[in-house]
Amino acid sequence: MKREQPTNKPPSETRSVTDQYRDAAVTITTGHEPDLQKVRIPIYSAEEHETWALMYDRQIKALPNRATPEYLAGLKILNLPQNRIPRLKEVSASLEKVTGWKLTRVEGLVPEREFFECLAHKLFPCTDFIRKRDELEYTPSPDMFHDIFGHIPLITNPEFASFYEYYGKVALKANADQLIKLQRIYWFSVEFGLIQKPEGLRIYGSGILSSPGEVPYALSSKVRVHPWDFSVVEKQYFEIHHMQDDIFVINSFESLLTGFKAYAKKSGLL
């Protein structure tokens, strides 16, 4: 594992993730609907179903020996359809049976506080639109492929689900400065994290798992890989619109949770 010093921006850089998405012209929405029986099922076009199928096929071929086993086990549990876009209530029902988590439908990216409140109540905000065909490689606005294929399988894992719930509860208590630090912890764990396994480094970050380009790149020699350290990660600046050059490695989901609890206590968030 490389132990180079992570690349940092000046400490004055305090823009939130939401600010970066606004810069990318991504609309921030508010409100969510946890009762999926009330949610109208979109009528997807044949091309949209094909987009899901194409992305599913491409990712499922790229992930063996790269994705963490807990994620791959979650994919089997969810049994997502390969050739059509899944319905949110189908995915939610499968998830709830395992860890008690459910999906809540959102129009798009939600503000930080609303997102954390959902996590604290074991609700994962999920869109029901899929990217356009010309956005297969990259879409600035997280779509349902990122939400469902990237995030949901790992929430079937009890240890990771516990971290996610605890993170949401802690983040609701954060002030503006603490929130920036917590967003960096989220980014380099939930979105772009690696985990050390006996067989080598494996991917657990949803931003990598749902991206055809990020999967090989994250495990290549082009990336600076660092051991996880909350005191380092909380200061690590990132940008959302390109491949991540600095990635952090945890030893286990259990250590991530226990370490985060200690970090929250030290930061006055408990």
Please classify residue 140 by burial: count the beta carbons closer than 10 Å to its beta carbon, then call 0-12 exposed, 13-18 middle and 19+ buried: middle
Task: Specify whether the CB–CB gap between 123 and 147 falls below 8 A.
Answer: no
| 250: β partners | 195
pLDDT of residue 243: 82
pLDDT the model gives residue 24:
53
Q: What is the pLDDT of residue 238?
A: 86
Distances (CA, A) of 210 to 136, 203, 238, 251: 10, 11, 19, 22
> Which DSSP string do the residues of 117-184 spell out, in sequence order?
HHHHTTEEEE------GGGSS--SS--HIIIIIIIHHHHTSHHHHHHHHHHHHHHTT--HHHHHHHHH
Residues 6 or more apart from 222 whose CB is under 8 A from it?
Answer: 245
Question: How is residue 109 annotated by DSSP?
Answer: B
* Token pair of 75 as six digits: 């994919």
Please give the class, per CATH, of domain 17-34+44-266: mainly alpha
CA 121, CA 124: separation in Å to the nearest integer? 9
Task: Specify whether the CB–CB gap between 144 and 127 falls below 8 A.
Answer: yes
pLDDT for position 12 = 37
10-residue mean pLDDT profile of the chain (270 residues): values are 48 57 62 89 96 96 97 97 96 97 91 92 96 80 92 97 97 93 95 96 96 91 96 90 90 97 93
- 64/3 Cα distance (integer angstroms): 26
- Domain assignments of the chain as residue spans, ordered by start: 17-34+44-266
DSSP state of 198: T
